[in-house]
A and B are shown apart, each in its own frame.
Chain A
Amino acid sequence: MWKTESKGIARAEEAVKQFLPPCQIKCPINEDIQRTNVLISLLPEDPQQAREGIIQISDYLYNKNPFFNICGYICGLCELECNYKAKGGAVRRRLLKRFLSDVYTDYLKQKEEFSVIKDKENVAVVGGGPGGLMCAYALSKKGYRVTIFESSNRLGGALWLIPNYRLPEEVLKATVDNLVRIAGIDVKFNAKLGEGKLTIERLRNEGYKAVFLAKGTPYPRVLTFDGATVEGQDLSGVMYGHTLLYEVSHGNIGANYFKGKKLIVIGGGNVAFDVGRTAQRLGGDVTVACLECEDKSSRDGIPADEEEISAAWEEGIKIIYSRGVRKIIGEHGKFKGIECPKCTCVFDEKGFNPKFDHSDCLDLNGDLLIITVGQVPDRAFLQREGLVDERGRLAVDPFSLQSLLKEQVFIGGDVRRIGFMVEAMKEGVVAATSIERYLRGLDMREGRQRDFEAYSIPLRKTYKPEAEVVWIPPEKRMHFQLFERGLTLQEARAEAKRCVTCGPCVSCKACISIGFEKSLYAVEVDREKCSGCGLCVFACNYSAAHLVETDGRILSATDMFKCKSCGMCVVACPSNARKLVDDDTERRIAKVMASL
């Protein structure tokens, strides 16, 4: 029977300096990646038994990251730091999570609610996006009574703007709806803070002792050139990418909406590519024009993901690099084209400060212009609520996310700084910790600063190539169904097996969960027997065994953070100086030998 048990928590003790595998350091919420990889690799072949295993693995992940099944579609930040990258491709962690999600998303609706006694203060979370939900989840699990105030009629925030072909609506909906049910979070829909009488002051009067403000960035950024707004954004035929994605997600735009139309999308971020690919799927002929150049490694490189760019290109979208928009040309109140001077430099030492060569100017004509150059928060609201400083900037402590002007208010997510979904989630977690400290009267900073250190790749004889990501060919994927195929059970097990488990055992303990080992044995070196020959150093694949000079003698020692208790050094030692403390293997072998 396939069974995992978590005896205590597999996470490493929080320490000032914590060793983790590089993928888990890259992940803003330090998800337990190595552990899941090992357990997936040990899943049964039988689909029904595997399903039970998947649910066990997922339940564990869910505790820390109730969004993991969404991450499986759209994140994959961890893969950027995988040690395997240089040895045949990063372990496809995103697809492995999607593999879990394929079973778990369905299971979510039958997952039982957490039994937590809600006997702590009332906390208001403003905004039901990933940041707000994550904060509410963390606080709710600790016994706080949390209410989310969501301005629209659905939870998920900006995640709704991700097109269906990347993140299916059912997955998003099942995740957010079940999250609030499972964690016991109250939600007030159509409750927009700053509208009517609903203010922070009002929340305070109603008994909410703390507020987490994660209102996101509801407004599109207008197109500017040389610091001034470009005229003509009110022409008919000019729209913002946000608006398009919003309307598409609400089902307000029918198929072939852009049929026969020539569209120009301005922007080089992932959202611009979402917009371009969406418009192309709606029948349009899309050209994406961006300020940045095609060389992603340069400072001025395009920010969109490589995968987005190549997928767009496959789908027939033209990409024009290094062009700004100097002028929007209209005719009889209708959009006609743009003037695009060559951008010679996007960033300088001061930051975003594009320079142009006006002698090299490209004229682009089209029927529609979709501006997707970013999004901005509701500044007027922040001002009215007195949350900005005299220079008009959000006054918030970036470490604790506590407002510098109102102590019971905490601010995070896109409203503070635009980022990936998981970065907003991280801010939700940080805010939850801060709110708890605030309400319990604890110090905001003490013991919270953590440094991480990663390990390099262990040595081994063979490395395997990464699993292939399978996309539906472009001629068959111009619709809003998923365009990427998930891993099969067999593929998932093989891909998970590639993980070389470079992280320390204390942050994983998968072998203990599944009952292979009883504990993480420490290696003990008998100083009298050790000759300092160094064979153990040679045998160790993790650079844990090493030689040290003590009292004029060379002796071997073991770095307990790097050691995996595999026993390879014990076997290699010619003078029997090494042993694994508490390991019963020797005893079991001796018993069998004695019975012969």
Chain B
Amino acid sequence: MSSYEPKLVCFSCKFGWGYLGNEEALAKQIKNWVPIICSGKVDSAHILTAFRQGADGVLILGCRGGDCHYQDGNYEAKKRVHLLHKILESYGIEKERLRIELSIDPEGNKIPQLVKEMSDKIAKLGPVKKFGEPAKAVAVA
């Protein structure tokens, strides 16, 4: 249990996050990181695929409200996360495993921090429970 390290996928909008930082150095700190031109470009299918492939959580970082270069991409992403929470929960995937943060951090220093924070929270939840598998079984393993 102590060796369990959750796998997180992080999408971040290029217009708000880390564009001034060194992308290579950041990539070393952030596993499974996908800088993307707009958070609105993150498809629901991408998020579901991540969970299907074994991700324990998905973090989406978008621009601040009203700052989107493509008008409302961040708003669309937020809406999508809201709807996906309901779907994920119906499959037994806790909504804490999908998070969207709308803010700005040109240097990108906050990204590893946010990933760590979320990772810690998910560690407490344990791995995603496979459908039909009782929660207890996972805890024992």
Instruction: List residues of A whose CB falls within 8 A of some B CB.
Output: 1-2, 38, 42, 44-45, 49, 458-464, 497, 500-501, 511, 514, 516-517, 539, 541, 564, 566-568, 570-571, 585, 588-589, 592-596
Asked if B41 and A566 make an inter-chain contact with CB atoms under 8 angstroms apart, the answer reads yes
Q: List 20 A-B contacts (CB under 8 A).
A: A2-B20, A459-B72, A460-B66, A460-B71, A516-B15, A541-B70, A564-B70, A566-B70, A567-B41, A568-B70, A568-B73, A570-B41, A570-B43, A571-B41, A571-B76, A585-B37, A589-B46, A592-B9, A592-B32, A596-B54
| Interface membership of B50, Cβ < 8 A | yes
Residues of B within 8 A of A567 (CB): 37-38, 40-41
B side interface size, CB within 8 A:
36
Contacting A at CB under 8 A, from B1-60, are 7, 9, 14-15, 19-20, 22, 32-34, 36-38, 40-44, 46, 49-50, 53-55
Residues of B within 8 A of A38 (CB): 69
A566 and B66 in contact (CB under 8 A), knowing A45-B106, A460-B71, A461-B72? no
Chain A: minimal CB distance from B101 (Å): 18
Q: What is the bound-complex CA distance between A571 and B44, given in angstroms?
A: 8
Q: What is the bound-complex CA distance between A67 and B100, given in angstroms?
A: 45
Residues of A within 8 A of B66 (CB): 460-464
Asked if A511 and B37 make an inter-chain contact with CB atoms under 8 angstroms apart, the answer reads yes
Q: What is the bound-complex CA distance between A459 and B71, given in angstroms?
A: 7
Q: List the A residue with the shortest CB-CB distance to B77.
A: A571
| Interface membership of B94, Cβ < 8 A | no
- Binding site secondary structure of chain A: loop
Instruction: List residues of B whose CB falls within 8 A of some A CB.
Output: 7, 9, 14-15, 19-20, 22, 32-34, 36-38, 40-44, 46, 49-50, 53-55, 65-73, 75-76, 106
A516 and B70 in contact (CB under 8 A), knowing A45-B106, A571-B41? no
Q: What is the bound-complex CA distance between A593 and B42, given in angstroms?
A: 13
Q: What is the bound-complex CA distance between A594 and B106, given in angstroms?
A: 28
A596 and B73 in contact (CB under 8 A), knowing A570-B41, A571-B43? no
Q: List the A residue with the shortest CB-CB distance to B55.
A: A596
Residues of B within 8 A of A500 (CB): 71
Q: What is the bound-complex CA distance between A1 and B107, given in angstroms?
A: 10
A593 and B72 in contact (CB under 8 A), knowing A461-B66, A566-B41? no
Asked if A460 and B20 make an inter-chain contact with CB atoms under 8 angstroms apart, the answer reads no
Residues of B within 8 A of A49 (CB): 20
Chain A: minimal CB distance from B120 (Å): 19
Residues of B within 8 A of A511 (CB): 37, 69
Q: List the B residue with the shortest CB-CB distance to A595.
A: B32
Asked if A593 and B50 make an inter-chain contact with CB atoms under 8 angstroms apart, the answer reads yes
Out of B20, B34, B50, B70, name the residue touching A44 (CB < 8 Å).
B20
